[in-house]
Chains A and B, each alone.
Chain A
Amino acid sequence: MDLINRYAHEVGQYLPHRMRADVEAELRSLLTDSVEERARAEGVPAGDELAAKVLREFGTPKDVAARYAPEPQYLIGPRLYPAYRTAVRIMLPVLAAVVLVLVVVGQFRHPGEPPSVVPFIRATGSFLWSALVNLGIMTLVFALVERSMRRSEANGKAWDPSSLPQVDDPDRISYFGRIFSLYIIAALALLFNFFPDWVAVYVFRNSDGNVYPLLTPAFSRYLPLINTWWLLAFVLNLAVLRQGRWTRPTRWADFGLEVGWASILLLIVLGPPVFRYDDLTKVIAQWFLIFSAINACVLLYRLLRRRPAEPWARA
Protein backbone atom coordinates (compact mmCIF):
# COMPACT_ATOMS: atom_id res chain seq x y z
CA MET A 1 0.00 0.00 0.00
CA ASP A 2 1.65 3.11 -1.28
CA LEU A 3 -0.01 5.42 1.25
CA ILE A 4 1.32 3.40 4.20
CA ASN A 5 4.84 3.41 2.74
CA ARG A 6 4.69 7.17 2.28
CA TYR A 7 3.31 7.64 5.79
CA ALA A 8 5.99 5.46 7.46
CA HIS A 9 8.70 7.27 5.49
CA GLU A 10 7.33 10.66 6.53
CA VAL A 11 7.28 9.65 10.21
CA GLY A 12 10.90 8.52 9.84
CA GLN A 13 11.93 11.97 8.61
CA TYR A 14 11.15 13.41 12.06
CA LEU A 15 13.11 10.73 13.96
CA PRO A 16 16.81 10.37 14.81
CA HIS A 17 18.68 8.47 12.11
CA ARG A 18 19.58 5.52 14.34
CA MET A 19 15.94 4.51 14.96
CA ARG A 20 14.45 5.59 11.64
CA ALA A 21 14.62 2.33 9.62
CA ASP A 22 13.39 0.24 12.53
CA VAL A 23 10.37 2.41 13.32
CA GLU A 24 9.47 2.73 9.63
CA ALA A 25 9.53 -1.07 9.18
CA GLU A 26 7.45 -1.60 12.29
CA LEU A 27 4.91 1.03 11.31
CA ARG A 28 4.53 -0.50 7.83
CA SER A 29 3.86 -3.91 9.37
CA LEU A 30 1.46 -2.62 12.04
CA LEU A 31 -0.52 -0.37 9.74
CA THR A 32 -0.85 -3.07 7.07
CA ASP A 33 -2.22 -5.44 9.74
CA SER A 34 -4.60 -2.76 10.87
CA VAL A 35 -5.92 -1.97 7.39
CA GLU A 36 -6.36 -5.65 6.48
CA GLU A 37 -8.20 -6.38 9.69
CA ARG A 38 -10.47 -3.39 9.19
CA ALA A 39 -11.15 -4.47 5.58
CA ARG A 40 -12.19 -7.94 6.78
CA ALA A 41 -14.40 -6.50 9.50
CA GLU A 42 -16.09 -3.94 7.27
CA GLY A 43 -16.19 -6.07 4.13
CA VAL A 44 -14.46 -3.47 1.98
CA PRO A 45 -11.26 -3.68 -0.13
CA ALA A 46 -7.99 -2.97 1.68
CA GLY A 47 -7.09 -0.08 -0.62
CA ASP A 48 -5.80 3.42 -0.23
CA GLU A 49 -9.23 4.73 0.77
CA LEU A 50 -9.35 2.54 3.86
CA ALA A 51 -5.63 3.16 4.51
CA ALA A 52 -6.30 6.91 4.53
CA LYS A 53 -9.05 6.39 7.12
CA VAL A 54 -6.74 4.33 9.37
CA LEU A 55 -3.89 6.81 9.01
CA ARG A 56 -6.16 9.74 9.86
CA GLU A 57 -7.06 7.98 13.10
CA PHE A 58 -3.41 7.13 13.76
CA GLY A 59 -2.39 10.79 13.74
CA THR A 60 -0.22 13.16 11.73
CA PRO A 61 3.34 11.94 11.01
CA LYS A 62 4.73 14.73 13.18
CA ASP A 63 2.56 13.76 16.17
CA VAL A 64 3.37 10.07 15.82
CA ALA A 65 7.09 10.80 15.52
CA ALA A 66 6.92 12.93 18.67
CA ARG A 67 5.51 9.93 20.55
CA TYR A 68 8.37 7.74 19.28
CA ALA A 69 11.12 10.28 19.85
CA PRO A 70 13.39 9.28 22.75
CA GLU A 71 14.10 12.86 23.81
CA PRO A 72 12.79 16.35 23.08
CA GLN A 73 13.44 17.31 19.47
CA TYR A 74 14.47 20.92 19.87
CA LEU A 75 17.72 22.85 19.86
CA ILE A 76 16.84 25.39 22.54
CA GLY A 77 14.20 24.44 25.07
CA PRO A 78 11.70 26.55 27.02
CA ARG A 79 14.13 27.01 29.94
CA LEU A 80 16.84 28.70 27.86
CA TYR A 81 14.67 30.31 25.19
CA PRO A 82 13.98 33.56 27.15
CA ALA A 83 17.74 34.05 27.68
CA TYR A 84 18.37 33.28 23.98
CA ARG A 85 15.76 35.84 22.92
CA THR A 86 17.27 38.47 25.23
CA ALA A 87 20.79 37.74 23.92
CA VAL A 88 19.63 38.14 20.31
CA ARG A 89 17.78 41.36 21.19
CA ILE A 90 20.99 42.76 22.70
CA MET A 91 23.32 41.49 19.99
CA LEU A 92 21.45 42.89 16.98
CA PRO A 93 21.27 46.57 18.09
CA VAL A 94 24.90 46.44 19.30
CA LEU A 95 26.01 45.16 15.89
CA ALA A 96 23.92 47.78 14.13
CA ALA A 97 25.46 50.50 16.31
CA VAL A 98 29.00 49.29 15.58
CA VAL A 99 28.37 49.26 11.83
CA LEU A 100 26.77 52.72 11.99
CA VAL A 101 29.75 54.12 13.91
CA LEU A 102 32.12 52.69 11.28
CA VAL A 103 30.15 54.36 8.49
CA VAL A 104 30.03 57.72 10.27
CA VAL A 105 33.77 57.55 11.01
CA GLY A 106 34.39 56.73 7.35
CA GLN A 107 32.37 59.80 6.28
CA PHE A 108 34.28 62.07 8.62
CA ARG A 109 37.61 60.84 7.28
CA HIS A 110 36.67 62.16 3.85
CA PRO A 111 34.84 65.41 4.54
CA GLY A 112 35.48 66.83 1.06
CA GLU A 113 33.47 64.18 -0.75
CA PRO A 114 29.74 64.68 -1.33
CA PRO A 115 27.45 62.55 0.85
CA SER A 116 26.41 59.28 -0.72
CA VAL A 117 24.17 56.32 0.02
CA VAL A 118 26.81 53.80 -1.11
CA PRO A 119 28.50 53.53 2.33
CA PHE A 120 25.10 52.91 3.91
CA ILE A 121 24.26 50.18 1.40
CA ARG A 122 27.65 48.56 2.10
CA ALA A 123 27.09 48.97 5.83
CA THR A 124 23.69 47.28 5.58
CA GLY A 125 25.33 44.35 3.79
CA SER A 126 28.01 44.16 6.50
CA PHE A 127 25.36 44.28 9.19
CA LEU A 128 23.29 41.49 7.64
CA TRP A 129 26.35 39.28 7.19
CA SER A 130 27.62 39.89 10.74
CA ALA A 131 24.13 39.38 12.14
CA LEU A 132 23.82 36.02 10.40
CA VAL A 133 27.27 34.83 11.56
CA ASN A 134 26.68 35.95 15.14
CA LEU A 135 23.19 34.51 15.21
CA GLY A 136 24.68 31.18 14.09
CA ILE A 137 27.35 31.22 16.78
CA MET A 138 24.86 32.23 19.45
CA THR A 139 22.41 29.48 18.44
CA LEU A 140 25.19 26.89 18.47
CA VAL A 141 26.33 27.95 21.93
CA PHE A 142 22.80 27.86 23.34
CA ALA A 143 22.14 24.47 21.71
CA LEU A 144 25.36 23.11 23.23
CA VAL A 145 24.35 24.37 26.68
CA GLU A 146 20.83 22.93 26.30
CA ARG A 147 22.25 19.53 25.40
CA SER A 148 24.82 19.63 28.16
CA MET A 149 22.25 20.58 30.81
CA ARG A 150 19.81 17.91 29.62
CA ARG A 151 22.51 15.24 29.86
CA SER A 152 23.60 16.47 33.25
CA GLU A 153 20.01 16.21 34.51
CA ALA A 154 19.54 12.76 32.97
CA ASN A 155 22.63 11.45 34.79
CA GLY A 156 21.96 13.44 37.92
CA LYS A 157 21.06 12.25 41.37
CA ALA A 158 17.65 12.72 42.94
CA TRP A 159 16.86 16.33 43.80
CA ASP A 160 17.94 17.27 47.29
CA PRO A 161 16.00 20.16 48.92
CA SER A 162 19.12 21.17 50.85
CA SER A 163 20.68 22.07 47.49
CA LEU A 164 18.26 25.01 47.19
CA PRO A 165 20.26 28.27 47.01
CA GLN A 166 20.16 30.77 49.85
CA VAL A 167 18.00 33.82 49.29
CA ASP A 168 21.11 35.99 49.03
CA ASP A 169 23.43 33.38 47.62
CA PRO A 170 26.87 34.53 46.45
CA ASP A 171 27.35 31.24 44.60
CA ARG A 172 24.24 31.61 42.49
CA ILE A 173 25.15 31.96 38.80
CA SER A 174 23.60 34.09 36.13
CA TYR A 175 22.65 31.67 33.35
CA PHE A 176 22.45 34.51 30.90
CA GLY A 177 25.91 35.80 31.86
CA ARG A 178 27.55 32.38 31.61
CA ILE A 179 25.96 31.60 28.25
CA PHE A 180 26.83 35.05 26.95
CA SER A 181 30.46 34.37 27.96
CA LEU A 182 30.37 31.13 26.00
CA TYR A 183 29.09 33.00 22.96
CA ILE A 184 31.78 35.68 23.24
CA ILE A 185 34.53 33.04 23.58
CA ALA A 186 33.23 31.09 20.57
CA ALA A 187 32.88 34.24 18.46
CA LEU A 188 36.37 35.53 19.33
CA ALA A 189 38.00 32.13 18.80
CA LEU A 190 36.35 31.85 15.39
CA LEU A 191 37.30 35.40 14.43
CA PHE A 192 40.97 35.32 15.48
CA ASN A 193 41.67 31.79 14.23
CA PHE A 194 39.83 31.71 10.93
CA PHE A 195 39.17 35.31 9.92
CA PRO A 196 42.08 37.36 11.38
CA ASP A 197 41.85 39.73 8.39
CA TRP A 198 38.45 40.85 9.63
CA VAL A 199 40.14 42.43 12.65
CA ALA A 200 40.62 45.65 10.75
CA VAL A 201 39.61 49.27 10.35
CA TYR A 202 37.07 49.65 7.56
CA VAL A 203 36.85 52.96 5.78
CA PHE A 204 33.90 53.29 3.42
CA ARG A 205 33.99 55.91 0.71
CA ASN A 206 31.70 56.75 -2.15
CA SER A 207 32.73 54.18 -4.70
CA ASP A 208 34.81 51.71 -2.72
CA GLY A 209 36.03 50.88 0.73
CA ASN A 210 39.49 50.45 2.25
CA VAL A 211 40.38 47.83 4.80
CA TYR A 212 43.36 48.26 7.10
CA PRO A 213 44.17 44.99 8.95
CA LEU A 214 45.07 45.52 12.59
CA LEU A 215 46.94 42.36 13.54
CA THR A 216 50.67 42.03 12.97
CA PRO A 217 52.42 38.68 12.26
CA ALA A 218 53.67 38.70 15.89
CA PHE A 219 50.10 38.03 17.04
CA SER A 220 50.27 34.43 15.77
CA ARG A 221 52.95 33.73 18.41
CA TYR A 222 50.42 34.32 21.17
CA LEU A 223 47.52 32.56 19.45
CA PRO A 224 48.21 29.01 20.82
CA LEU A 225 48.34 30.46 24.33
CA ILE A 226 45.17 32.45 23.84
CA ASN A 227 43.42 29.44 22.25
CA THR A 228 44.32 27.31 25.27
CA TRP A 229 42.90 30.00 27.53
CA TRP A 230 39.69 30.21 25.48
CA LEU A 231 39.31 26.42 25.56
CA LEU A 232 39.77 26.29 29.34
CA ALA A 233 37.40 29.22 29.84
CA PHE A 234 34.78 27.53 27.62
CA VAL A 235 35.04 24.26 29.57
CA LEU A 236 34.84 26.11 32.90
CA ASN A 237 31.73 28.04 31.86
CA LEU A 238 30.09 24.84 30.67
CA ALA A 239 30.97 23.06 33.94
CA VAL A 240 29.56 25.94 36.00
CA LEU A 241 26.37 25.88 33.94
CA ARG A 242 26.00 22.13 34.45
CA GLN A 243 26.45 22.48 38.20
CA GLY A 244 24.09 25.46 38.27
CA ARG A 245 26.20 27.35 40.84
CA TRP A 246 29.73 28.29 41.76
CA THR A 247 31.64 25.78 43.85
CA ARG A 248 35.03 26.11 45.50
CA PRO A 249 36.89 24.20 42.76
CA THR A 250 35.24 26.22 39.97
CA ARG A 251 35.98 29.47 41.81
CA TRP A 252 39.64 28.47 42.10
CA ALA A 253 39.65 27.57 38.41
CA ASP A 254 38.11 30.95 37.59
CA PHE A 255 40.78 32.70 39.65
CA GLY A 256 43.49 30.65 37.91
CA LEU A 257 42.09 31.62 34.50
CA GLU A 258 42.02 35.30 35.44
CA VAL A 259 45.67 35.12 36.55
CA GLY A 260 46.44 33.30 33.28
CA TRP A 261 44.71 36.02 31.27
CA ALA A 262 46.60 38.75 33.13
CA SER A 263 49.87 36.91 32.37
CA ILE A 264 49.04 36.69 28.66
CA LEU A 265 48.25 40.42 28.60
CA LEU A 266 51.52 41.14 30.39
CA LEU A 267 53.41 39.14 27.76
CA ILE A 268 51.64 41.10 25.03
CA VAL A 269 52.40 44.45 26.65
CA LEU A 270 56.08 43.58 27.10
CA GLY A 271 56.55 41.79 23.78
CA PRO A 272 56.70 42.92 20.15
CA PRO A 273 53.66 44.79 18.77
CA VAL A 274 50.73 42.52 17.96
CA PHE A 275 48.53 45.32 16.60
CA ARG A 276 49.31 48.16 14.26
CA TYR A 277 48.94 51.54 15.98
CA ASP A 278 51.12 50.00 18.69
CA ASP A 279 51.10 52.98 21.07
CA LEU A 280 47.33 53.08 21.29
CA THR A 281 46.84 49.32 21.57
CA LYS A 282 49.50 49.02 24.27
CA VAL A 283 47.68 51.62 26.31
CA ILE A 284 44.44 49.65 25.85
CA ALA A 285 46.22 46.37 26.72
CA GLN A 286 47.61 47.98 29.86
CA TRP A 287 44.11 49.02 30.90
CA PHE A 288 42.89 45.50 30.25
CA LEU A 289 45.82 44.19 32.31
CA ILE A 290 44.98 46.47 35.22
CA PHE A 291 41.31 45.45 35.02
CA SER A 292 42.26 41.78 34.88
CA ALA A 293 44.59 42.10 37.90
CA ILE A 294 41.85 43.84 39.91
CA ASN A 295 39.35 41.16 38.87
CA ALA A 296 41.79 38.44 39.98
CA CYS A 297 42.06 40.13 43.39
CA VAL A 298 38.26 40.32 43.66
CA LEU A 299 37.96 36.62 42.79
CA LEU A 300 40.61 35.74 45.37
CA TYR A 301 38.82 37.86 47.98
CA ARG A 302 35.53 36.04 47.27
CA LEU A 303 37.33 32.74 47.67
CA LEU A 304 39.00 33.57 50.93
CA ARG A 305 36.46 35.78 52.67
CA ARG A 306 34.49 34.36 55.52
CA ARG A 307 30.76 34.39 55.09
CA PRO A 308 28.95 36.68 57.57
CA ALA A 309 27.37 34.76 60.40
CA GLU A 310 23.62 34.36 60.46
CA PRO A 311 21.74 36.83 62.72
CA TRP A 312 20.84 34.20 65.31
CA ALA A 313 24.49 33.10 65.52
CA ARG A 314 25.59 36.69 66.12
CA ALA A 315 22.99 37.09 68.83
Chain B
Amino acid sequence: MREEVYMAGMGGQGVLLAGQILTQAAMLAGLEVSWFPLYSPEVRGGRATCTVVAADEEVGSPAAGHPAAMILMDKIAVDNHLGRVKSGGLVVVNSSLAGEEFSRDDLRIVPIPANDIATELGGERAVNMVLLGGYVEVTELVTLEATEQALREVIPQRHHSFLPVNVAALQRGAQCATNQIS
Protein backbone atom coordinates (compact mmCIF):
# COMPACT_ATOMS: atom_id res chain seq x y z
CA MET B 1 0.00 0.00 0.00
CA ARG B 2 1.30 3.42 -0.97
CA GLU B 3 -0.84 6.58 -0.80
CA GLU B 4 0.33 9.86 -2.28
CA VAL B 5 -1.54 13.08 -1.63
CA TYR B 6 -0.45 16.43 -2.98
CA MET B 7 -1.78 19.61 -1.37
CA ALA B 8 -1.58 23.07 -2.89
CA GLY B 9 -2.90 26.53 -2.17
CA MET B 10 -1.82 30.05 -1.37
CA GLY B 11 0.45 30.91 1.55
CA GLY B 12 -1.62 31.46 4.69
CA GLN B 13 -4.28 28.86 3.86
CA GLY B 14 -2.59 26.23 6.00
CA VAL B 15 -1.51 23.85 3.25
CA LEU B 16 1.64 22.81 5.10
CA LEU B 17 -0.14 22.37 8.44
CA ALA B 18 -2.88 20.24 6.91
CA GLY B 19 -0.14 18.00 5.51
CA GLN B 20 1.63 17.76 8.85
CA ILE B 21 -1.57 16.77 10.64
CA LEU B 22 -2.24 14.05 8.08
CA THR B 23 1.38 12.89 8.50
CA GLN B 24 1.00 12.70 12.27
CA ALA B 25 -2.27 10.77 11.86
CA ALA B 26 -0.59 8.29 9.51
CA MET B 27 2.26 7.80 11.99
CA LEU B 28 -0.26 7.19 14.79
CA ALA B 29 -1.85 4.57 12.52
CA GLY B 30 1.50 2.76 12.50
CA LEU B 31 2.38 3.63 8.90
CA GLU B 32 5.63 4.83 7.38
CA VAL B 33 5.10 8.39 6.18
CA SER B 34 6.90 11.42 4.79
CA TRP B 35 5.91 15.07 4.38
CA PHE B 36 7.78 17.13 1.84
CA PRO B 37 7.09 20.87 1.39
CA LEU B 38 7.76 23.28 -1.44
CA TYR B 39 6.86 26.92 -0.89
CA SER B 40 7.82 30.43 -1.85
CA PRO B 41 9.44 32.72 0.73
CA GLU B 42 6.35 34.96 1.25
CA VAL B 43 4.44 34.36 4.52
CA ARG B 44 1.14 35.15 2.79
CA GLY B 45 0.12 35.26 -0.83
CA GLY B 46 2.93 33.08 -2.21
CA ARG B 47 2.33 29.50 -3.33
CA ALA B 48 2.52 26.62 -0.89
CA THR B 49 2.51 22.91 -1.65
CA CYS B 50 3.33 19.73 0.17
CA THR B 51 3.29 16.03 -0.61
CA VAL B 52 2.38 13.40 1.95
CA VAL B 53 3.30 9.81 1.12
CA ALA B 54 2.19 7.03 3.47
CA ALA B 55 2.94 3.35 3.05
CA ASP B 56 2.89 0.07 4.94
CA GLU B 57 6.52 -0.48 3.85
CA GLU B 58 9.41 1.96 3.27
CA VAL B 59 8.03 5.18 1.79
CA GLY B 60 10.50 5.39 -1.08
CA SER B 61 10.04 8.56 -3.10
CA PRO B 62 8.67 11.44 -1.01
CA ALA B 63 7.59 13.15 -4.24
CA ALA B 64 5.18 12.07 -6.96
CA GLY B 65 4.83 13.27 -10.55
CA HIS B 66 1.25 12.03 -10.90
CA PRO B 67 -0.26 11.67 -7.43
CA ALA B 68 -3.44 9.64 -7.02
CA ALA B 69 -4.95 12.27 -4.73
CA MET B 70 -4.83 16.04 -4.34
CA ILE B 71 -6.28 18.67 -2.05
CA LEU B 72 -6.48 21.93 -4.02
CA MET B 73 -7.31 25.00 -1.97
CA ASP B 74 -7.80 27.72 -4.60
CA LYS B 75 -8.30 28.38 -8.32
CA ILE B 76 -4.59 28.77 -9.11
CA ALA B 77 -3.89 25.40 -7.49
CA VAL B 78 -6.55 23.81 -9.71
CA ASP B 79 -5.18 25.53 -12.84
CA ASN B 80 -1.60 24.52 -12.03
CA HIS B 81 -2.01 20.96 -10.78
CA LEU B 82 -5.27 19.32 -11.87
CA GLY B 83 -3.59 18.15 -15.08
CA ARG B 84 -1.07 16.08 -13.10
CA VAL B 85 -3.52 13.93 -11.15
CA LYS B 86 -3.32 10.25 -12.03
CA SER B 87 -6.28 9.15 -14.13
CA GLY B 88 -9.06 7.88 -11.86
CA GLY B 89 -7.60 9.83 -8.95
CA LEU B 90 -9.32 11.76 -6.19
CA VAL B 91 -9.36 15.55 -5.93
CA VAL B 92 -10.80 17.46 -2.98
CA VAL B 93 -11.34 21.04 -4.16
CA ASN B 94 -12.17 24.23 -2.29
CA SER B 95 -15.18 25.21 -4.41
CA SER B 96 -15.53 28.55 -2.57
CA LEU B 97 -12.48 29.76 -4.47
CA ALA B 98 -12.20 27.37 -7.42
CA GLY B 99 -15.84 26.94 -8.52
CA GLU B 100 -17.30 23.62 -9.61
CA GLU B 101 -16.33 23.48 -13.31
CA PHE B 102 -13.30 21.32 -14.03
CA SER B 103 -11.37 20.47 -17.17
CA ARG B 104 -11.19 16.71 -16.52
CA ASP B 105 -13.90 14.07 -16.37
CA ASP B 106 -11.70 11.05 -15.53
CA LEU B 107 -11.31 12.01 -11.87
CA ARG B 108 -13.31 11.66 -8.67
CA ILE B 109 -13.73 15.33 -7.79
CA VAL B 110 -15.19 16.31 -4.42
CA PRO B 111 -15.98 20.05 -4.32
CA ILE B 112 -16.30 21.44 -0.80
CA PRO B 113 -17.18 25.13 -0.14
CA ALA B 114 -14.48 25.30 2.52
CA ASN B 115 -14.32 29.08 2.92
CA ASP B 116 -18.09 29.30 3.34
CA ILE B 117 -18.12 26.48 5.90
CA ALA B 118 -15.16 27.91 7.82
CA THR B 119 -16.76 31.38 7.94
CA GLU B 120 -20.02 29.86 9.14
CA LEU B 121 -18.12 28.13 11.95
CA GLY B 122 -16.57 31.47 12.90
CA GLY B 123 -13.04 30.34 12.06
CA GLU B 124 -12.05 31.74 8.66
CA ARG B 125 -8.63 30.16 8.99
CA ALA B 126 -9.98 26.62 9.36
CA VAL B 127 -10.35 26.21 5.57
CA ASN B 128 -7.52 23.66 5.56
CA MET B 129 -9.23 21.52 8.21
CA VAL B 130 -12.54 21.51 6.31
CA LEU B 131 -10.77 20.16 3.23
CA LEU B 132 -8.63 17.71 5.21
CA GLY B 133 -11.80 16.38 6.87
CA GLY B 134 -13.29 15.83 3.42
CA TYR B 135 -10.19 13.99 2.19
CA VAL B 136 -9.95 11.76 5.26
CA GLU B 137 -13.65 10.87 4.99
CA VAL B 138 -13.50 9.65 1.39
CA THR B 139 -10.23 7.71 1.73
CA GLU B 140 -9.23 4.75 3.85
CA LEU B 141 -5.82 6.07 4.87
CA VAL B 142 -6.65 7.27 8.39
CA THR B 143 -9.84 7.74 10.41
CA LEU B 144 -11.41 11.07 11.28
CA GLU B 145 -10.80 10.26 14.96
CA ALA B 146 -7.08 9.70 14.32
CA THR B 147 -6.98 13.01 12.45
CA GLU B 148 -8.59 14.82 15.39
CA GLN B 149 -6.04 13.19 17.70
CA ALA B 150 -3.21 14.25 15.37
CA LEU B 151 -4.56 17.81 15.34
CA ARG B 152 -4.36 17.92 19.15
CA GLU B 153 -0.79 16.61 19.07
CA VAL B 154 0.54 18.84 16.29
CA ILE B 155 -0.99 22.14 17.47
CA PRO B 156 1.18 23.63 20.25
CA GLN B 157 -0.49 23.82 23.68
CA ARG B 158 -0.62 27.64 23.57
CA HIS B 159 -2.99 27.49 20.57
CA HIS B 160 -5.33 24.89 22.02
CA SER B 161 -8.14 27.46 22.35
CA PHE B 162 -8.49 27.08 18.56
CA LEU B 163 -9.00 23.31 18.77
CA PRO B 164 -12.83 23.26 18.99
CA VAL B 165 -13.35 25.26 15.80
CA ASN B 166 -10.77 23.16 13.95
CA VAL B 167 -12.30 19.89 15.12
CA ALA B 168 -15.72 21.21 14.02
CA ALA B 169 -14.17 22.13 10.66
CA LEU B 170 -12.80 18.59 10.19
CA GLN B 171 -16.22 17.13 10.98
CA ARG B 172 -18.14 19.52 8.71
CA GLY B 173 -15.73 18.81 5.86
CA ALA B 174 -16.19 15.08 6.37
CA GLN B 175 -19.97 15.47 6.44
CA CYS B 176 -19.96 17.57 3.29
CA ALA B 177 -17.84 14.98 1.46
CA THR B 178 -20.17 12.18 2.54
CA ASN B 179 -23.17 14.09 1.19
CA GLN B 180 -21.37 14.64 -2.12
CA ILE B 181 -20.68 10.97 -2.56
CA SER B 182 -24.19 9.75 -1.68
A in complex with B:
no
Residue numbers of A with Cβ under 8 A of B are none
Residue numbers of B with Cβ under 8 A of A are none
